[in-house]
Chains A and B, each alone.
Chain A
Amino acid sequence: MQQEYEKYYVPAQSPWPIVGAVALFLIAVGAGNFVIESTQGEEGYGGIVLTVGIITLLVMLFGWFKNQIDESMSGLYSDQLGRSYRQGMSWFIFSEVMFFAAFFGALFYARFISVPWLGGASNNAMTNEVLWPAFEAMWPLVTTPGGTTTQQMSAAGLPTINTIILLISSVTLHFAHVGLEQNKRKQLTTMLGATILLGVIFLFLQVEEYIHAYQELGLMLDSGIYGNTFFMLTGFHGMHVTLGTIILVVLFLRVIKGHFTPDNHFAFQAGSWYWHFVDVVWVMLFLFVYVL
């Protein structure tokens, strides 16, 4: 127990964090101006600043991770440091859970409180009578109080296929992890490759679904609270799958270079936790956005 505490690696100075701070600054300024310019139809540099910010962030991540990988490969990391990384990752995922919770909260509030109340439920008969006399509460809200109409996205078809794809990808990733721990590198590479492939297929089908929603169903981001919650939840989930896939690709490249040992593979574990988290979010999405 006490030996573990003897060498905790405290890194020397590093330029990467401040590069990261500048990158986030550029991203925030760029995104803010880009949103203003693109919605007001103005000319400006928002998009360029945003792009430069994202590139800076990628450079930062590459440099920072390269430092860490070099340190890890040269044996500077103790078990205690590994625990710090694992705990840090777990709390990060918890913060992501809370981010999605805000949007699920909005979904449930709309479905069980605001839409019924607008329809006159509880003691809100006069709200309905005075403000929106023609409105009837329903879920999915395909006709809003303001009169926007849309159609429901069916759970059958693409969403179900996508659910199956993501569930299988969790299993393949688990087998990749088992392969890593038992030092079966071939199983590791094939299973990890399969997971990436499934992730890409999922994203492809998700784009198909969005095209279907926009072109055939008339279900759009601004189609009232149903469209809002649908696209914000699936959209943020899709961004997380994209990020997860990129992480898995990086892990795949590292595996090919011979990184990770059965005992020492924090990055792999973190990426795998992240992927499983994204899967669990999808299952919740599938249940509450599509099925129920």
Chain B
Amino acid sequence: MSKATDVMTPDDAAHGHDEHHDHHIPKGITRWLFTTNHKDIGTLYLWFAFIMFLVGGAMAMVIRAELFQPGLQIVDPNFFNQMTTVHGLIMVFGAVMPAFTGLANWLVPMMIGAPDMALPRMNNWSFWILPFAFLILLSSLFVEGGGPAFGWTFYAPLSTTYSGDSTALFVFSVHIMGISSIMGAINVIVTIFNMRAPGMTWMKMPLFVWTWLITAFLLIAVMPVLAGAVTMVLTDKFFGTSFFDAAGGGDPVMFQHIFWFFGHPEVYIMILPAFGIISHIVPTFARKRLFGYASMVYATASIALLSFIVWAHHMFTTGMPLFAEMFFMFATMLISVPTGVKVFNWVATMWRGSLSFEVPMLFAIAFIVLFTIGGLSGLMLAITPVDFQYHDTYFVVAHFHYVLVTGAIFSIMAAVYYWLPKWTGKMFDVTLAKWHFWCSLISVNLLFFPMHFVGLAGMPRRIPDYSLQFADFNQWISIGGFAFGLSQFIFLALLIKACKKEGEPVSDQVWEGAEGLEWEIPSPAPYHTFETPPVVK
């Protein structure tokens, strides 16, 4: 948590000045199309992410409906493959990443005392690329021959020799998503470097800002590599190159190296901001300062650096020299050290705190427990010899859904519940929120926990049919999946009510025990904040 508690706000900045500006909030559709306001853009990102979450979720429902029983009954296998592929792409690039970018937009300027993001027009551009990118991706499902059906990892030769024409649309849609992410990341990184209020030194920065700074660095470093990978897929498929074809001197395994050089930092892009969020929420509701602030910063940086030298643990079974397998196994295990530091610090922050269990805290605690389960199954997968058994089974699916759904997505929900009253000025519907939490918590575990068992027993992932002995577990998994999907409509109802500004007004601090610049400004946060920077002591 930020140590920036004593804030001197210049007289003209926070109150009178801002209210004056509130009379000039643009109206109508052009407010959203032309906006340069970080709060508007944050709202756009968050709503876009939520809609994509529902769209990607609907695809998961198709998958679970097909897998409810063994045998092929609802969709044909090619369509099933398109569903697994586009579900993954949408959830990664359309839901989790834009949600975090939306949170960064809303929060980073308020947390560091900046008037806006450093490059507000480019900010708008980064957002508005995304709906178009996903329009292309989704419309490619209707192209003759079907949409992308090669898994979100688009391994060659599935994406080259054996893919349909729509691959070209997939490639260019990923290109413009990448442009959006890179511009968004540049904006965040420059904002943090250049826009901090006087006195907001590096080691006073709130952890959400720290984690996003490091995330932005990872994004700028690896999104261009993804662009390179899709470009090579495009030329291999359409222009006769053989990057991933042994007949021309290339190698399909090279695709996996390039992809996972992007892909592994990418998974930390989807979890580091979550670490930041949890590091804000836990201290607030434990009413204690975060345990080990500095170690949190160093742990985040170590995780980010290590993420560049562990990529091949996704490829233990695809052919590497023994030395490389050993190297990537040990490097991967090293990551559990800084991650363990974080989990330890959160638990130590709660230790002997005056805990209370408001909705954000419920999600945060669920995050800590369930993310740790995902982390531990990751550790199992990191062990090369046992990965030979786990590889490409439902155990892997269980692992990354624990870290991405109960990890990244739970943290996003925790963040929305935590900061929503600051954004709207009203307390959300707590009853609905608790229903949302408990329904999600129970159903998500019913959904993902049995996947460990069927995975260990050898059920392969990405296959629309399975052997009879997996039938019982799969029915439970599907029921959990439908319940988790339905639970999100509670969240939707709550968000609609919140956007209509229903509910009790909240104080500026909102939560007893909340600390940081964003809690010093009025609730709801004025349209423009910190036009003159505060002085942080």
Q: A87-B193, A88-B118, A106-B232 are in contact. Are A29 and B165 (CB under 8 A)?
A: no
Interface string of A217-232 (1 = CB under 8 A from B): 0000110111110001
- Bin the interface of chain A by size: 35 or more
Contact A114 to B246, CB < 8 A, known contacts A11-B36, A25-B132? yes
B250–A11 CB distance below 8 A: no
B interface, over-half SS: helix
When the two chains form their complex, are residues B136 and A29 in contact, meaning their CB atoms are under 8 A apart?
Answer: yes
Q: Do residues B248 and A39 form an inter-chain contact, with CB atoms below 8 A?
A: no
**B128 adjacent to A32 (CB under 8 Å):** no
1/0 contact trace for A117-141 toward B, CB 8 Å? 1100011000000011000000001
Q: How far is the CA of A191 from the CA of B125 in the complex (A)?
A: 35
Contact B197 A224, beta carbon cutoff 8 Å: no
Known contacts A35-B234, A145-B248; A222 and B241 CB within 8 A of each other: yes
| B330 interface contact, C-beta 8 A | no
B224 cross-chain contacts in A, Cβ below 8 A: 95-99, 101-102
Binds A, one of B167-175, B294-302, B504-512: B167-175
Binds A, one of B27-35, B270-278, B466-474: B27-35
* B229 A114 Cβ-Cβ under 8 A: no
Tell me which of A1-9, A206-214, A276-284 binds B: A1-9
A109 to B257, CA, bound (A): 9
A226 to B186, CA, bound (A): 34
Q: Is the interface of A mostly helix, strand, loop or mixed?
A: helix
Complex contacts, A145 vs chain B, CB 8 Å: 246-249
Q: Which chain A positions have C-beta within 8 A of B125?
A: 16-18, 20-21
Question: Nearest-CB distance from A115 to chain B (Å)?
Answer: 5
In the complex, which residues of chain A have a beta carbon less than 8 angstroms from the beta carbon of B258?
102, 105-106
Write the nearest CB–CB distance from A27 to chain B, whole angstroms: 8
- Does A28 count as interface, using CB distance less than 8 angstroms? yes
Interface centre among A21, A83, A222 (most CB of B within 10 A): A21
B235 touches A228 (CB 8 A): yes
Q: Is there a chain A Cβ closer than 8 Å to B119's Cβ?
A: yes
Q: Is A6 a contact of B532 with CB atoms below 8 Å?
A: yes
Give the interface residue-count category, chain B: 35 or more
Known: A98-B225, A225-B248. A110 touches B254 (CB 8 A): yes
| Cβ–Cβ contact A35 & B168, under 8 A | yes
List CB contacts (< 8 Å) of B243-278 with chain A: 243, 246-251, 253-254, 257-258, 261
**CB <8 Å contact, B241 and A232:** yes
Quote the shortest CB–CB distance from A240 to chain B (angstroms): 13
Distance A197 CA – B239 CA, assembled complex (angstroms): 32
In the complex, the chain B residue whose C-beta lies closest to that of A228 is: B241
> Do the beta carbons of A13 and B34 come within 8 Å of each other?
yes
| Cβ contact within 8 Å between A32 and B34 | no
Per a CB cutoff under 8 Å, which of A2, A28, A105, A232 touches B172?
Answer: A28
Question: Please, how many angstroms separate the alpha-carbon atoms of A118 and B251 in the complex?
Answer: 9
Contacts of B187 in A (CB 8 A): 88
Q: Given the complex, which residues of B lie within 8 Å of A91, measured CB to CB?
A: 185-186, 189-190, 220
A160 interface residue per 8 A CB criterion: no
- Our pick among B193, B248, B533 for the contact of A148 (Cβ within 8 Å) is B248
**Known contacts A5-B198, A109-B251: A84-B221 contact under CB 8 Å:** no
In the complex, how many angstroms separate the beta carbon of A145 from the nearest chain B beta carbon? 6
| Contact code string B40-61 (vs A, CB < 8 Å = 1, else 0) | 0000000000000000000000
7 tightest Cβ-Cβ pairs between the two chains A and B: A102-B228, A222-B240, A146-B247, A225-B249, A21-B128, A25-B132, A114-B251
Can you list 26 pairs linking A and B with CB atoms under 8 Å apart?
A10-B528, A11-B36, A14-B36, A14-B121, A14-B124, A18-B33, A20-B125, A21-B132, A33-B169, A35-B238, A84-B194, A84-B195, A88-B190, A92-B186, A95-B186, A96-B224, A97-B224, A102-B228, A102-B232, A110-B250, A114-B249, A122-B321, A148-B248, A222-B248, A226-B249, A232-B231
Q: A10-B120, A13-B26, A32-B169 are in contact. List 5 more A-B contacts (CB 8 A).
A: A11-B121, A25-B129, A33-B169, A131-B246, A221-B240
